[in-house]
A = this chain, B = another copy of it.
C-alpha cells in the first residue's frame, strides 16, 4: 500500500515461549499474538502507544483489513500529523487472544492438531492484556507513553493501567466501563444463545463442517449492532423509509431500510468473524469487573498506578453511558490520580468513538501531548 513506507507499518506474530497462565486457572501453550506496529520506536523506547481494539476489531488499526480490504479501523485517528501521530509515536495494536485474526483463539489448532473449539479456556480482559504485555516485553518496552482504547479496548486500557501499573504512564479510555452491567450481559447472552441455538454450531465443533453457525452469528451481530447506535441516529439515518420500494409489501421481506441494513450487517459479519471467538470474547467482557478483581473497591484497582488518565464518554451512548465513565473518574479521584473526564456530544451512539467526531480528535491529541 502506498502509505506503508511513510507509516512504517509492520505486521508481526509473537510466538510466546512459555505457556500463558490464565485467570481461570488453565494455561495456554503455544500462544501466538498477532500485532501491527507503525511509526518508529525511539532509542529510549519511551514513545510507544498501545491501541487496544474492540470486541469484533483487530490489530489492523491503519493497514487494510486482510479479509474485507477495507482501510484500517482507526485511520482517521492514527497517522502522520493525526491525533495519534505516527511521526512522533510508535503505535502498537495487538489482536486479543480469543479472537480470530491471528492471535490464538478457539479456531486455532490445539497441540493435538485439531481446533481448540470449545476446549479453548474461557479468558478474561486481563488475560488479553497479558498477551499485550508479552508483546511489550518482546519489543523491550518497559513503559508505554499511553495505552488507548474504546469500548472493549477501554476495558483493556483500564486493566493494563491497573494490573500492570508500571507499564504505562497514561491511559485514555473512550466509551467504556469498568464493569459490565446487567443490561450489557443480557444483550451478550442473547447473542450467545442465538449462536448456540443454531444447529450448525455443533457444540462448537463446526470447523470441519463448512461455514458454521452463520445464521445464529448473524442474529447475534444484529442484536449487538442496535446497541452500538443511538435511537435518534437510527431515526435520522433510516427512520421508517422503505428499501427500494414505494409501498409496504405486506410480507416478511426487508420492507424497511433499517431491516435491510441490519440483515447486511449480520450477514457480512459472518464472513469475517468466527462464532466461537464471539462467544469467548463476549464472555470475557461480561466477566469484566475491575473493582471485583481488587476487593470490590474500584479505587483500589489503581493503588499501584502513577499514570495520567483521560475518560471520554458520548452523550448518546446507551451501551456504556456517561455514568460508567464518571464512576471510573470518581475512583481515580479517590486514588489521588490525575484524571480528566469529558462527555462529548455526538449523534452516533456508542460507535461515536470510531466515527467522525472532531471533538474527540482534539481530546485525544491534547491528552497524548
Contact = CB atoms under 8 A, between A and B. Distances in A.
A259 interface: yes
13 contacts: A23-B250, A182-B231, A186-B259, A186-B262, A187-B226, A189-B222, A189-B254, A189-B256, A190-B219, A193-B222, A193-B263, A194-B219, A223-B223
Interface stretch (A139-147, A281-289, A301-309, A354-362): A281-289
B250 A122 contact: yes
A81 interface: no
B250 A183 contact: no
A185 B256 contact: yes
Contacts of A42: none
Contact of A122 (B25, B181, B251): B251
Interface stretch (A50-58, A159-167, A236-244): A236-244
A62 interface: no
A60 interface: no
A180 interface: yes
Interface stretch (A69-77, A92-100, A196-204): A196-204
Contacts of A189: 222, 254, 256, 258-259, 262-263
A195 to B, nearest CB: 10
B121 A252 contact: no
A318 interface: yes
Contacts of A179: 240
Contacts of A226: 183, 186-187, 190
A192 interface: yes
Contacts of A182: 231, 234-235, 237-240, 256, 258
Interface in A106-145: 121-122
A319 to B, nearest CB: 10
Contacts of A48: none
Nearest to A260: B189
Considering the complex of A and B, which 5 residue pairs feature the smallest CB-CB distances, nearest first?
A24-B250, A197-B215, A182-B234, A122-B250, A182-B238
Contacts of A287: 248
A283 B249 CA distance: 11
B266 A186 contact: no
Contact of A234 (B186, B248, B254, B263): B186
A218 interface: yes
A259 B185 contact: yes
Contacts of A193: 215, 218-219, 222, 263, 266
B197 A219 contact: yes
A252 B215 CA distance: 20
A279 interface: yes
Contacts of A289: 240
Contacts of A122: 250-252
A39 interface: no
A199 B197 contact: no
A216 interface: yes
Contacts of A197: 194, 198, 215-216, 218-219
